[in-house]
């Protein structure tokens, strides 16, 4: 093999795909980056900070658990207009003040 022959190695994306992982590009402003770096360190005092990707993955898993709990809690209730079990994803009564779809999504949205 001479100096111009290309050595074939698996790409990072292929390696991630084989491991069941995917690469995501994330755009954050300076303040969000500062918060992320600070929290990676403050969540592990006296130890190495979380890796950025590890910390974000843990936040996703925490949020998933919260969402599942919230959906389970509201699913015992019914829409005041159509009577369907909550959460109702679509309804022809959307816009009616008694319809859960009109304002109910506020019960599941993210808030700061």
pLDDT averaged over consecutive 10-residue blocks of the chain (112 residues)?
Answer: 51 71 92 98 97 96 96 91 87 88 88 86
In angstroms, the CA 77 to CA 84 distance is 9
Structure token digits, residue 85: 């079990």
- pTM as predicted: 0.73
Which residue stretches of 4-111 are H helix?
12-18, 30-42, 52-74, 100-103
């Amino acid at each position: 093999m001479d100096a111009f022959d290309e050595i074939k190695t698996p790409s990072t994306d292929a390696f991630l795909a084989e491991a069941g992982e995917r690469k995501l590009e994330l755009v954050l402003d300076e303040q969000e980056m500062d918060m992320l770096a600070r929290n990676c360190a403050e969540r592990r005092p006296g130890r190495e900070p979380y890796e950025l990707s590890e910390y974000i993955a843990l936040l996703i898993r925490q949020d998933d658990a919260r969402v599942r709990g919230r959906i389970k809690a509201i699913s015992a209730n019914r829409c005041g207009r159509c009577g369907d079990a909550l959460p109702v994803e679509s309804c022809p009564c959307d816009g009616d003040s008694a319809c859960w779809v009109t304002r109910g999504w506020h019960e599941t949205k993210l808030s700061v």
